[in-house]
Amino acid sequence: MSKSLQAIRGMNDILPEQTPLWRYFEGTVARLLDNYGYKQIRMPIVEFTELFKRSIGEVTDIVEKEMYTFEDRNGDSLTLRPEGTAACVRAVLEHGITGGGQVQKLWYIGPMFRHERPQKGRYRQFHQIGLEVFNLDGPDIDAELIIMTWRLWGELGIRDAVKLELNSLGTSESRSRYREALVEYLSAHHDKLDEDSQRRLKTNPLRVLDTKNADTQAVLVDAPKMADYLDDESRAHFEGLKARLDAVGIPYVLNPKLVRGLDYYSKTVFEWVTDKLGAQGTVCAGGRYDGLVEQMGGKPTPGVGFAMGIERLVLMLETLEQIPEEISRQVDVYLCAFGEEAELAGLALAERVRDELPNLRLQVNAGAGSFKSQFKKADKSGALYALILGDDEMAQQVVGFKPLRGQGEQQSIAWDALAAHLATCVVQG
Ligand code: ATP
Ligand code: MG
């Protein structure tokens, strides 16, 4: 194939054999969010570039080097969204739905775009499920977000493979006091820092804590700790969160170096990490951003949220072989018809059955074919049963009912009784 007809590097097709697992994952999360009282919001994929610069921060990795930015035909600078929080805040402000202290518990799902080096678990178009809560400022809601994800890991069967890392960044006042202390310390060790960290020391010093460089990490061992700079309010908030996690029995690790890549966080930050995916170990990350809405032109509005990476979580389900059996089968019953008359009768019969059993996954053979070839297709479809309509069945107004997996003889079922019969052997619940 010529190069121009390939997908863009780091942007993947999700093929039919993969989509059942995606839908299972997405469906599980959506049901959970419904049950906890969250409502879905859908934002555009493209926004004005300014939105991300103002919210995420000019000197973050995302804004500095990862955004897909282009000029549209009007000359406006637009950007494919690299994350969901900025657009969500823009949307609630634009529609006034957080005004007067109204609580909003929102979630969204969809593709995000970042120009990163593609590798396992890291892509240029990737998918997130994200969640934002507005106008609740207590640690109880921070706890709810974490409790909900904990339940999710349990339902997905991956709880033992993830670990919760927690930190508090304090209010912006305590953070700036900490920043000063950190800059003073790091400046004294300037020559031992890697180049990137030297640059960050000037632009965004807290991000130095996030370094992967071993020499810089060694310098950080004795660096001032955020925990020592927390103001009373942030400290009480953090204690409140930990008490709630303890009450539910959710284990966590305090990680004073956890700062997150986006500028807008305050107080709680957290990440769910795994060692099952190699270097791309964060599957869900978030925190509180009490100053963001105001920074974006709204009234002071507390906010907290997280986003999880669907690719990484799907990869984890595959790696840990936590794939429910029922999703690998997509056909319950396969109808084979031989001859033109049987084909017509089969179509009508299938529709009658579908009327009565709307959840039945019934596939009707298309493309005619011999007895042998239709059976082969029935078997390959993964169906549990084949329905057979040939000359004999047509004459008697019955359908042959043949189990395809395991034992059981072929039986004849009257057309009128077919739906009731299928209900007993296929449709559960
Ligand atoms: P990382 O440190 O792995 O780059 P991040 O801090 O940039 O992650 P966030 O912006 O917090 O990530 O996004 C939340 C989640 O989205 C991440 O924890 C991860 O699961 C997922 N994610 C982020 N970037 C990518 C990507 N390029 N490809 C796939 N998933 C991603
Ligand atoms: Mg990143």
**Residue 31 counted as an annotated binding residue:** no
Atom of ligand 1 nearest to the CA of 130: 14
Which atom belonging to ligand 1 lies closest to the Cα atom of 62? 7
For residue 209, the 8-state DSSP code is G
Would the annotation count 265 as a binding residue? yes
Whether ligand 1 lies within 6 angstroms of the CB of 150 is answered as no
Helix (H) or strand (E) holding 268: strand 266-274
Backbone angles phi and psi of 150, in degrees to 5? -60, -45
Tokens of 197: 């960290």
Q: Is the beta carbon of 123 within 6 A of some atom in ligand 1?
A: yes
Distance CA 58, CA 203 (A): 9
Ligand nearest to the CA of 122: 1
Give residue for tokens 């599980």. Answer: 28
Locate the ligand 1 atom nearest the alpha carbon of residue 261 and give its number.
6
Instruction: Write the pLDDT tens digit of every residue in 287-339.
Output: 999 999 999 999 999 999 999 999 999 999 999 999 998 887 889 999 999 99
Cα 261 to ligand 2 centroid, rounded to whole Å: 7
CA distances from 28 to 32, 115, 151, 156, 192 (A): 6, 29, 11, 8, 47
Centre of ligand 2 from the C-alpha of residue 275, in Å: 17
Q: How high is the pLDDT of residue 356?
A: 96
The pLDDT score that the predictor gives to residue 334 is 97
Q: Is the shortest distance between the CB of 56 and ligand 1 below 6 Å?
A: no
Decide: 270 in ligand 1 pocket, CB within 6 A. no
126 alpha carbon – ligand 1 mean position (Å): 9
Residue 272 parent element (H or E): strand 266-274
Query: What are the φ/ψ torsions at residue 162 (nearest 5 degrees)?
Result: -120, 155
Q: Considering only CA atoms, which residue is closest to atom 24 of ligand 1? A: 122
Query: What are the structural domain ranges in the chain?
Result: 18-171+231-320, 329-427
Per DSSP bridges, beta strands 162-168 and 253-254 are: parallel
Q: How many CB atoms lie within 10 A of CB 136?
A: 17
Fold that domain 329-427 belongs to in CATH: Rossmann fold (3.40.50)
Would you give the DSSP letter of residue 359?
A: T
Is 6 among the annotated ligand-binding positions? no
Our measurement of the distance from residue 301's CA atom to the centroid of its chain's CA atoms, rounded to an integer in Å, reads: 25
pLDDT the model gives residue 13: 98
Asked if residue 288 lies in contact with residue 302, where contact means CB atoms within 8 angstroms, the answer is yes
- 152 C-alpha to center of ligand 1: Å? 18
What pLDDT is stored for residue 175 in this prediction?
86
Cα separation, 92 vs 31, whole angstroms: 23
Q: Name the β-bridge partners of 236.
A: none
> Cα 367 to the chain's mean position, in Å?
39
pLDDT at residue 1 in the model: 57
**SS3 label, residue 362:** strand
Nearest CA to ligand 1 atom 22: 309
195 is annotated as contributing to ligand binding: no
260 assigned to a ligand binding site: yes
Cα dihedral 20, 25, 31, 33, rounded to 10, equals -150
Low-confidence ranges of the chain (pLDDT < 70): 1-3, 261-263, 427-429
Residue 429, pLDDT score: 40
Ligand 1 site, residue 314, Cβ cutoff 6 A = no
For residue 116, the ligand 1 atom closest to its alpha carbon is 27
Question: Candidates 3.40.50.970, 2.40.50.140, 3.30.930.10, 3.40.50.880; correct CATH number of 18-171+231-320?
Answer: 3.30.930.10
CA of 361 to the centre of ligand 1 (A): 36
pLDDT of res. 186: 94
Ligand 1 pocket, 265 CB below 6 A?
no
**CA 260 to ligand 1: nearest atom:** 6
Ligand in closest contact with the CA of 305? 1
The percentage of residues in the chain with a pLDDT greater than 70, rounded to a whole number, is 98
pTM here is: 0.92
User: At CB < 8 A and 24+ separation, what contacts does 92-99 make?
Assistant: 92/134, 92/293, 93/293, 93/296, 93/297, 93/298, 98/134, 98/135, 98/293, 98/298, 98/301, 99/299
Answer yes or no: is the C-beta of 125 below 6 A from any ligand 1 atom. no
